[in-house]
Structure formats: C-alpha cells, structure tokens
Amino acid sequence: MNLRYFLYAFFLSAGLLFLATSCEKDNPLPGESKVEEADPEPTPYSLEIPTGFPNYLPANDNPLTLEGIELGRKLFHDPILSKNNKQSCAGCHDQNIGFTDAKRFSIGVEGKPGVRNSMALVNLAWRRNFFWDGRASSLEEQAFDPVRDPLEMNTTWPEVEDKLNDNAEYRELFRLAFGVDRIDSNDVVNALAQFERTLISANTKFDKHLQGQNVFTDLEQAGFDLFVSEEADCFHCHNGVFMSDNTFRNNGLQDPIKDEGLGGVTGRQRDVGKFIVPTLRNIEKSAPYMHDGRFQTLREVIDFYSDGAQQNSPNVDPVMLKANRPGGSLGLTDYQKEALIAFLKTLTDEEYLNEPRFSDPD
C-alpha cells in the first residue's frame, strides 16, 4: 500500500466515522427523542352545576380549560383592552356590586357616558342572548363589542392584538391556553367567555329555600308568597333559579318610545320597546335599575310596578295590563312593598360577591 492510498483510506474512514456520529445525533435510538417535548394540552375543566340548576350545554368550539379560565380572568381585570390602558371590563362590572357599576350610565375611556345601564353578570353559562337588546347570541360574540365601542373602551381589535403580542407574559399565557404563537381577537374573546361562564351564583337564602330549608323570616316569606302570586305578578317574568325567563318584554317604562331595544336590532315593529328580562340575583347590590338606570332604590322599582307603568306604551307586555284594577295599577300596600323588598334581599349571594376566584389576580 503506497502512502497516497493510505492517506485516502484514512480520510475516508474518518469521514464515515463523522457521518455516523452525526447520524447518531439526528437519528436517536428507540425510546429517545430528538425534539423537545411538546407543550402539555390545556387542562379540561367542568362546571360544577348547583343543585336545582339545569344541565349546562358546553360551547363545543370553546371548551373550558383551567388555563383559558385563568387567562380570561386576567384579561377581564386588565385595562390593556382599552384605548388608553385605563379601563377594564371590571371597571363597569364590579364584583362587589353584582358585576355591574353604581352609575346610571357607565363612563367610557373618553369620559363620555354610555346609553344604557351596565348589566349584572351572573349565571351566564345558561344565557343565550346578551346585551339589553339581545344583539349578541353568545358570550364570545358579546365580548367583541365593548372594545370597539366609542363610548366604552374605544379602540380597535388590531391595536389590542398588537399590545398583547408585545407582552411576553400574555404570549406565554395564550400559548398555554390555546396553543397559539400569535394572539388574535378570537383567542381573547374565547378566554373572556370561559372565565365569564364560571360566574355562578347559587348560595343565597332563596336557594336554601328552594332546597327545602326554612330560612326565611316572616316578612321574607310574606314577600315570597306575594312575589309568586297573581296579586303582585312578579313571577311571570322573574322565575326559576335564574330569576328571569330570558324573554324580551316592554314593561311600560317608555311612552313615547325613546330607546327601541330589541326592535332596533330586529327591525320589527312588534319588538320596539322590548328589553331582556334581567336577573334579580344580587339585585339588592346592583342599583341603579332598568335598562336606563332610572331608579336608584328597590322601593322606587316596586312603586313603579305597583302604580307607575305606562300602559299605553307600544307593545306593552300583557302582564303589565291590570284592567281589573283602578287605573290599571297593582295598588300594593306599604307592607306588601316592604315584604317584597325583604324577599328580594334574600337573593343576595355574599359568597359570590366576594369569591376570590373571580377577583383581580394581580
């Protein structure tokens, strides 16, 4: 073997050894992995359904996960969703007062008031219509509006997306919750909706009464008996565990009509002046009342239903028409009004109003 052949053989064997070593790195032995472990899947979460509540029908395109819920909670309390980073969802939906606010009309980022009272948030997982006029049919759809409303957060979704994508913490949280590398508006509303579906109130005197526990005082019991009687006629609209039948009605507030409500959404004359029947849960805490926040106290509300409904209002609900009574009114006595107020206060859920899982995580 001459020297030239020897050197050729040496370099050839060295090259093969290098290739073998390289291939060994690229092609691991069975049981070994050549790539980093994938991120774990989000942790599924099931709502705990309270006694007496109907079954919950999950949103199949937005399943609940622990990561999604916690992300939604953070977003709900973070003013990053607004134009000037000063207003959050919680700014108009304060947990301590039933996830509403104490103003007749909420004030937006530009210092301008809105046109309707901020709605209380509770037991939303079972709702199918949102906003006073029902213009959204899901929590995801609902969450798009406040961000771009000029009287609320007054920004655009592309601006919100840019801010979130510039935030390393949010990029990581969205990656863990939804497996995305870039955040878009659909991910944001999905997270918010997941959190809002966990806002369940079911621990009141009223709930205990439904479960057969005798916890009412005599005045509260008198109010409840009146509430479910034809004499006061409250139960036709406010019934069941949700204290709302989730229909749209004109309760005689307007004559003439200034806010078309559902009619402004559907364009149908028969819907003009109708608004969704709100829940009465935590009603003691969520003043002011009605879609336009015109009443500051429960007594004012009951006085209205007893004696003040506009029975000539277009599309007024038949429940509001009491033709067999003088002037069409209920004519409730002071005692009856106080009894009704006592019962309404049994709908307050202190646990819900102070639940740490719903509060600002920061």
Chain Cα centroid distance, residue 283: 16
Residue 325's pLDDT is 56
Looking at residue 256, the DSSP 8-state letter turns out to be S
Residue 327's pLDDT is 58
Whole-angstrom distance, CA of residue 108 vs CA of residue 101: 12
Specify the CATH number of the domain 66-200.
Answer: 1.10.760.10
36 neighbors 28 (Cβ within 8 angstroms)? no
Residue 330's pLDDT is 87
Residue ranges for the chain with pLDDT beneath 70: 1-38, 322-328
Whole-angstrom distance, CA of residue 23 vs CA of residue 74: 47
Whole-angstrom distance, CA of residue 46 vs CA of residue 66: 9
pLDDT in tens, 113-150: 999 999 999 999 999 999 999 999 999 999 999 999 99
Chain Cα centroid distance, residue 307: 33
Looking at residue 144, the DSSP 8-state letter turns out to be H
Topology agreement, domain 66-200 and domain 205-350: yes
139 neighbors 253 (Cβ within 8 angstroms)? no
CATH topology for the 205-350 domain: Cytochrome Bc1 Complex; Chain D, domain 2 (1.10.760)
**In 3D, which of 141, 122, 137, 140 has the Cα closest to residue 72?**
140
SS3 253: coil
Q: Which two tokens stand for residue 91?
A: 């700014």
Domain positions in the chain: 66-200, 205-350
pLDDT in tens, 185-215: 999 999 999 999 999 999 999 999 999 998 9
